[in-house]
Amino acid sequence: MTSAGGNGRQETPPAERPIGVFDSGIGGLTVMHSLMERLPRESLIYFGDTARVPYGPKSRDTVTRFSIENVRLLTGYGVKAVVVACNTATARALPVLRQEFNLPIVGVVGPGARAAVARTTTGRIGVIGTYGTIESGAYRDHLLALNPDLEVVSRPCPLFVPLAEEGWTDHPVARQVAEEYLAPFRVDGIDTLILGCTHYPLLAGVIAEAVGPQVTLIDSAEETAREVASLLSDRGLAAGAGEPAHRFLVSDLPELFLRVGQRFLQGRIGGVEVVAAGSG
């Protein structure tokens, strides 16, 4: 299955090759959406590692191994760059991926931190993410490197991932879970909340209700797409005028991914191909 992409690779000029995007499951589609909007000429190949989701509770070593396998799989399709559309994989594995692979690799944590710093007025920023992302301290480190005077409060919200994968994004259960996880932020008095997991923007409605209207939610997807756009133009890798073609790959049953994903990409998923996780 990877050879199909590999065969065309030799003849295709670098700028006309697709961009690879991966996440543990459906969450990276929020980044995919921003990439499609900002870079309408680029062909994208999305891989959702649905056989091994969630990444959040897994160890650094495991997430790093999965991430290396995912990038290897995408390079088999001749991608010119990779977007790690997963905060957990970015927080755990981005430096290793950049060492291992000789192509531009963009993560979502740096862009999310920059967007939050640009938005906050009080300097009190909340961060929510998976256990892995929060435990890594990646957001705190990026935020404090941008401004050491910030106050950063971080909390894991692991149940948001299965709720998003299930499509229960506007459901009483999602509302109850959000209230349970997020009520403490009302006491902290933050004015900005980083949705530090690419699944969470799918639950933005219930999250916003729980934290209140005075808190701005930061979704790193748009800022990430902006970073990809400038990287492609700096390196002369921006695609020309042709029609883009997108592909969607998953490592386990495609039905739920297709059903839930279509809602978020407004029906732009033409089909979903199943590939073996770790087959790169």
Select the residue interacting with ligand DGL from 35, 53, 82, 116 (CB under 6 A).
53
Closest Cα partner for 180 from 203, 211, 214, 213?
Answer: 211
Select the residue interacting with ligand DGL from 2, 20, 21, 23 (CB under 6 A).
23
Q: Which residues participate in catalysis according to the annotation?
A: 86, 197
Closest CB 255 distance from ligand DGL, rounded Å = 19
Q: Binding segment for ligand DGL among 4-12, 81-89, 117-125, 173-181 (CB under 6 A)?
A: 81-89
Closest CB 127 distance from ligand DGL, rounded Å = 12
Select the residue interacting with ligand DGL from 2, 34, 43, 88 (CB under 6 A).
88
Under the binding rule (CB under 6 A), the answer on residue 133 touching ligand DGL is: yes
Closest CB 261 distance from ligand DGL, rounded Å = 13
Under the binding rule (CB under 6 A), the answer on residue 44 touching ligand DGL is: no
Q: What are phi and psi of 57, to 5 degrees?
A: -85, 0
Q: How many residues bind ligand DGL (CB under 6 A)?
A: 16
Sheet with 192-195, strands from edge to edge, namely 151-156, 124-129, 192-195, 216-218
Under the binding rule (CB under 6 A), the answer on residue 251 touching ligand DGL is: no
Under the binding rule (CB under 6 A), the answer on residue 112 touching ligand DGL is: no
Closest CB 209 distance from ligand DGL, rounded Å = 21
Under the binding rule (CB under 6 A), the answer on residue 24 touching ligand DGL is: yes
Considering only residues 55 through 74, tell me which ones interact with ligand DGL, judged by CB under 6 A: 55-56
Q: Tally the residues of the chain.
A: 280
Site residues (vs ligand DGL, CB under 6 A): 23-24, 27, 53-56, 86-88, 130, 133, 161, 197-199
